[in-house]
Amino acid sequence: MTHPNSDSDHKLTYTNENRQRRLTQFISFFVGGFLIILGLCGILFPGFAGLHMSSAYSIIISTSGTILFYYSYKKNSLNAFRSCFGFSLFFSLHALAGFIFGKPGVPSLGYGAADKRLLVLVPGLQELGSVDHILNAILGFALMGGAIDWWIKYSSEKNNTKSKVRAPSKAV
């Protein structure tokens, strides 16, 4: 943490090294653990829970879960915020694209039933169906909640620090 009187206090460098873990880190921990398990299940069972998981997409899911899990474990809430925010955009955009651009079709991988909103990004490698879109939307909302929680607490702590620090008065 920077010194309250320093000029760099306005930068986004707050690390919160000596404080308790934040909700952002708990969200990152649980979502990361869920994604690691989901990615491993996707490698073993591509149609797990009605999802369309190729091996490559399962590795992407497991890697994102590992990154979220790692930054939740570290005592640096700024990195947990960054990973929550970045992956919330990733999952939310996947969900949004699926709901907007998805068309009726039959997937070539994973759960084999016809789907009303199948989005084929890379044929045979990344195909997302309705269940995938719903899961991505839930993940995006959960991770964005963690990012917003960090931002609100960071802003309030930053304002509290500035209000406690007063400029020295000049003696006449």
What are the residues facing 103 on neighbouring strands?
118
Predicted pLDDT of residue 67: 93
Helix (H) or strand (E) holding 39: helix 23-44
Q: Listing from the earlier edge strand, what are the strands of the sheet with 115-122?
A: 103-105, 115-122, 126-128
At 35-46, the pLDDT tens digits run 999 999 989 988
More confident residue, 62 or 23: 62
Please, are residues 115 and 103 in contact by the beta-carbon 8 Å criterion? no
At 104, list the tokens.
Answer: 């009726």
Quick check: helix, strand or coil at residue 115?
strand
Asked whether residue 172 carries a pLDDT value surpassing 90, the answer given is no
Please, are residues 102 and 133 in contact by the beta-carbon 8 Å criterion? yes
Please state, in angstroms and rounded to a whole number, the distance separating the CA atoms of residues 2 and 10.
10
Task: Give the model's confidence band at 16: pLDDT under 50 very low, under 70 low, under 90 confident, else very high.
Answer: very low
CA angle (71, 76, 80) in 5-degree steps: 40
More confident residue, 114 or 10: 114
Predicted pLDDT of residue 162: 62
Asked whether residue 71 carries a pLDDT value surpassing 90, the answer given is no
At 13, list the tokens.
Answer: 């460098």
Percent pLDDT > 90 in the chain is 30
Q: Kindly report the pTM of this predicted structure.
A: 0.76
User: What residues does each domain of the chain span?
Assistant: 22-162
Please, are residues 128 and 110 in contact by the beta-carbon 8 Å criterion? no
More confident residue, 70 or 163: 70
Predicted pLDDT of residue 107: 84
Torsion angle defined by CA atoms of residues 40, 43, 45 and 51, in that order, rounded to the nearest 10 degrees: 90
Tracing tokens 């959960």 back to the chain, one arrives at 142
At 53-67, the pLDDT tens digits run 888 889 989 999 999
Amino acid symbol at 12: L
Predicted pLDDT of residue 170: 61
